[in-house]
Amino acid sequence: MVVMYQWRKFEFFEEKYGAKCAIPEGDDDVVDRKIECCSSGRGKVVTGFEDGVVCFFDRGFKFNYAFQPHSSSVLFLQQLKQRNFLVTIGEDEQLTPHQSALCLKVFDLDKMQPEGSSTTSPDCVGILRIFTNQFPEAKITSFLVLEEVPPILLIAIGLDNGSIYCIKGDIARERITRFKLQVENNHSDKTLSAITGLGFRVDGQSLQLFAVTPSSVSLFSLHDQPPKGQTLDQIGCGVNSVAMSDRSELIIGRPEAVYFYEVDGRGPCWAFEGEKKLLGWFRGYLLCVIADQRTGKHTFNIYDLKNRLIAHSALVKEVSHMLYEWGNIILIMNDKSALCIGEKDMESKLDMLFKKNLYTVAINLVQTQQADAAATAEVLRKYGDHLYSKQDYDEAMAQYIHTIGHLEPSYVIQKFLDAQRIYNLTNYLEKLHEKGLASKDHTTLLLNCYTKLKDVEKLNLFIKSDDSIGELKFDVETAIRVCRAANYHEHAMYVAKKAGRHEWYLKILLEDLGRYEEALDYISSLESSQAGMTIKEYGKILIEHKPEETIEILIRLCTEDGDKRGLSNGVYMSMLPSPVDFLSIFIHHPQSLMDFLEKYTNKVKDSPAQVEIHNTLLELYISNELNFPSMSQVNGGGNYLNGVSAKTMISSTQSNGNIADHNSSEQEKDRLKRREKGLHLLKSAWPPETEHPLYDVDLAIILCEMNAFKDGLLYLYEKMKLYKEVVACYMQAHDHEGLIACCKKLGDSVKGGDPSLWADLLKYFGELGEDCSKEVKEVLTYIERDDILPPIIVLQTLSRNPCLTLSVIKDYIARKLERESKMIEEDRQAIEKYQEDTLTMRKEIQDLRTNARIFQLSKCTACTFTLDLPAVHFMCMHSFHLRCLGDNEKECPECAPEYRSVLEMKRNLEQNSKDQDRFFQQVKSSKDGFSVIAEYFGKGIISKINTGSTSGPRSGTASSTSGF
């Protein structure tokens, strides 16, 4: 039992207006009659008078209309909510002595029937006799209607003998069922058995009925057939002291207290003393009209049971009925006056409480009345401000914490920035992070608070809680940055690792702690893509301190033997990181870069980036000093090496004037060793079967020239068939033996060499300015063998060297003169033979033109049978039977092939005469260009251009179209 002596009183309700529940003046015969019953609903208040008249009132108790449903009196009525129906119980004229005058009527208020010129009444859709032979007559003490699924109604009528008559169905269609419920009666006094109150409880499909007598409280389960009843309590109450709460609880009022009942029995009990004249429930408030036995005055109280306060209290006249309509409480007095009481708005109630500094009451009020969260937060803020002004900082912070999510955090933080209040501020920031509403600045501030307090335990709890990062309750990067600044490196590493921020984790390990081995182990545990990104960013530091271990990780990263899933090796390698991507980390450590690329090339033979890798290795191998070449980055990805960068190589170390001999010799050995590797790479990366090498040839040539790498240059020039450049290298070095050996190798035309190299070599010796007789004789031997230069050119070339004597070329000249004399004799004999043949042909042609030809053959040339007529004779002295020749045969079958071949050769020669490029190519490539021109003239390919008369119509060129 809850005693209410200490409950505060407030005026949360106010009287709206008063009115008179009466028929307008003019009907004097009904003005003084008593109100028997009342109801409300659908925006109207309905009153039933003792003479059977029912009146309807609109808002403000403005009279609407009246009609008389019963001829004698109206005892009970109820306005339905779902349909605009009115159900009444009243007395009509008694038709027979055996029938009761009481009847139940249902009116459809939407259908009005005119009864005369001045009054109207609603249509009565159903009339029902309450008492029958099965249901004997008794005094009705209570009445209640439940609207089920329209048009079904469930009507409960309580009697003074403890019985309850129930009528269920569609009364308008007279489709009803009746049943009776009986309250257990253990008393002989009939007045203790009357049904003083009824209440329906609907819970899903379950339907129950509370029944109250002066001596008991019972509950009937109507979904059971037949309905079952049980007694909940052995105390009851009188008429008008029964109500139902909005949670379907039964409320009864007794002089000592107010009791609440659930389906399982008595619930809370509130000790409000005084006789309860009327009891009600409105919007969560308990309404009581209590009579003071000492003074006889009536007090109307409104109780807020949740907040344990009296929301309104006022002295009133004797109240006969209590209704709820238009959002107000309506009290109807015995003198038919009415009083409307309405609830004040939330803002007015809160202002009233704030003025009295009753903030806890205000908070409870907004929470119980389900105000929006913003309104609740505003009340909490004002309460917090009030406590803060009283320097109750702890309690004030407790209120501010409840405003998180609605109140701007900066409002609270600004108040508690003082160092004395750092504990409260820390608490607020912790709650802000728990709800996921903290910004980066809030995280920074909270961590600074922890570090200033040196509260490592709370810092651990904040940083290392199981769900702190999973739910992102703070900004990870901010937390890491603050912890680093405060030298809480382990906490920063924990956050970075759990959040997967590998770059921060490694930054702390390498830059702050210098734990390089641990950083390498961590990188090894990452996925390939993540490991590659981290090495690109921190590889320079790792290479500087742990080069071998870093190289091992890079090799594993670029060559790891994962699941190829049926891919070819080349395709799979293209999916792995390329070593070129990591070249930038070796910018100050060329030796480590060389080691890395050598290990990679030994392990991977068909890398997609092998050209770039070989270019880099060549720069490292060929450089005079192993200082990193100034190689420019390509595409920002560490892809170095182009020709321009190689031209601008700069040595990063300079001699200081005193270098130990030992060191010099070691450096020289290293340089020679690297150059051996470089030459090997130049050769191995240019397989004989491929046209182009697996490196940039232009870059390789530039590197060799800049670093005076003769062996590499010679190899490249030879592979590129730049034989003159090869010879130029030997000339530049004055290596005569090498020159001659080179020309022997590269100047042999049989092996695809260039014989003109001997001419260049002869020119070199001719301009040398020193005695080189031995070498010149050897060169002249090969020039003579291949007939590379005419003797006159040889004489002119060697004449420029004053150190050479005629004896050097005497034998060469003698041999050449002897050979040419022999050739002249052979040519003279050939000319005489051709002249004789020509003379013979001319005589034969003249004979054919001037003399008759006698054919004496007796046999056919084709079939060798005796020649008979008809026969065909050709000028070539061949004869044939006509039948042995084909149709339209006009040429000798024996001589025609030879003749056609001559014609075909002539046509080809004429066609070739138009191919000027071929003519000049032959002239250029021939040892004796004049002989080529003479041959063209001799074959008649190049002929005179005959110019005709310019005055005649046939002017122009005659026979030649060669264009020469």
For 128-146, how does the pLDDT look when each residue is reduced to its tens digit (9 = 90+)? Answer: 888 888 888 889 999 999 9
Query: Residue 648: pLDDT above 50?
Result: no
* Alpha-carbon span 767 to 759, nearest angstrom: 12
Return all residues near 565 (Cβ < 8 A) that are at least 6 apart.
none
Query: Residue 124: pLDDT above 70?
Result: yes
> Which pLDDT does position 919 carry in this prediction?
78
> Which pLDDT does position 956 carry in this prediction?
36
Q: State how far the alpha carbon of 191 is from the alpha carbons of 37, 141, 220, 238, 357, in Å.
A: 21, 11, 21, 10, 51
Backbone angles phi, psi at 926, to 5 degrees: -80, 150
Q: What is the mean predicted confidence (pLDDT) over 818-845?
A: 89
Q: What is the mean predicted confidence (pLDDT) over 194-220?
A: 91
Indicate the pLDDT class of residue 764, thresholds 50, 70 and 90.
confident
Most trustworthy range by pLDDT among 175-179, 472-476, 802-806: 175-179
Average pLDDT value over all residues in the chain? 80
For the entire predicted model, the pTM comes to: 0.53
Please state, as a whole number, how many other Cβ atoms lie within 10 Å of the Cβ of residue 636. Answer: 7
For the record, the structure tokens of 13 come out as: 């309700």
> Which pLDDT does position 943 carry in this prediction?
57
How is 407-463 classified by DSSP, letter by letter?
Answer: B-HHHHHHHT-SGGGHHHHHHHHHHHHHTT---HHHHHHHHHHHHHHT-HHHHHHHH
> Which pLDDT does position 940 carry in this prediction?
61
Query: Residue 822: pLDDT above 50?
Result: yes
Most trustworthy range by pLDDT among 79-83, 648-652, 956-960: 79-83
Look at 117 and 292; give whichever has higher pLDDT.
292
How is 837-855 classified by DSSP, letter by letter?
Answer: HHHHHHHHHHHHHHS----
Indicate the pLDDT class of residue 322, thresholds 50, 70 and 90.
very high
Indicate the pLDDT class of residue 477, thresholds 50, 70 and 90.
confident
Query: Nearest CA to 696 among 604, 787, 631?
Result: 631
Return all residues near 154 (Cβ < 8 A) that are at least 6 apart.
145, 146, 148, 166, 167, 168, 200, 207, 222
> What percent of the chain stands above pLDDT 70?
86
Query: Residue 924: pLDDT above 80?
Result: no
- H/E element holding 545? helix 528-545
Q: What is the mean predicted confidence (pLDDT) over 314-332?
A: 91
> Which pLDDT does position 939 carry in this prediction?
65
Maximum Cα interatomic distance, the chain, rounded to a whole number of Å: 184
Look at 473 and 841; give whichever has higher pLDDT.
841
Indicate the pLDDT class of residue 836, thresholds 50, 70 and 90.
very high
Q: What is the mean predicted confidence (pLDDT) over 707-733?
A: 78
Half-sphere exposure of 315 (CA within 13 A, CB side): 4
> Which pLDDT does position 563 carry in this prediction?
44
Indicate the pLDDT class of residue 5, thresholds 50, 70 and 90.
low
> Which pLDDT does position 942 carry in this prediction?
62
> Which pLDDT does position 423 carry in this prediction?
83
Query: Residue 178: pLDDT above 80?
Result: yes
For tokens 């009907």, name the residue: 27
Query: Residue 826: pLDDT above 60?
Result: yes
Query: Residue 571: pLDDT above 90?
Result: no
Lowest average pLDDT, out of 63-67, 310-314, 359-363, 832-836, goes to 359-363
Indicate the pLDDT class of residue 946, thresholds 50, 70 and 90.
very low
Q: What is the mean predicted confidence (pLDDT) over 696-708?
A: 86
Query: Residue 579: pLDDT above 70?
Result: yes
Query: Residue 834: pLDDT above 80?
Result: yes
Q: With 0-12 CB in 10 A as exposed, 13-18 as middle and 19+ as buried, what is 838?
A: exposed
Query: Residue 633: pLDDT above 50?
Result: no
> Which pLDDT does position 115 carry in this prediction?
56
Lowest average pLDDT, out of 464-478, 862-876, 888-902, 949-963, goes to 949-963
Q: What is the mean predicted confidence (pLDDT) over 15-24?
A: 74
- H/E element holding 141? strand 140-147
Lowest average pLDDT, out of 72-76, 240-244, 326-330, 602-606, goes to 602-606
Q: What is the mean predicted confidence (pLDDT) over 264-275?
A: 88
Query: Residue 97: pLDDT above 60?
Result: yes
Lowest average pLDDT, out of 165-179, 376-390, 788-802, goes to 788-802
> Which pLDDT does position 465 carry in this prediction?
67
| Whether 649 contacts 629, CB under 8 Å | yes
Q: What is the mean predicted confidence (pLDDT) over 869-897?
A: 82
Indicate the pLDDT class of residue 18, thresholds 50, 70 and 90.
confident
Q: With 0-12 CB in 10 A as exposed, 13-18 as middle and 19+ as buried, what is 20?
A: middle
Query: Residue 2: pLDDT above 60?
Result: no
Indicate the pLDDT class of residue 637, thresholds 50, 70 and 90.
very low
725: three-class secondary structure by DSSP = helix
Query: Nearest CA to 942 among 951, 933, 930?
Result: 933
| Whether 263 contacts 300, CB under 8 Å | no
> Which pLDDT does position 259 carry in this prediction?
94
Indicate the pLDDT class of residue 106, thresholds 50, 70 and 90.
very high
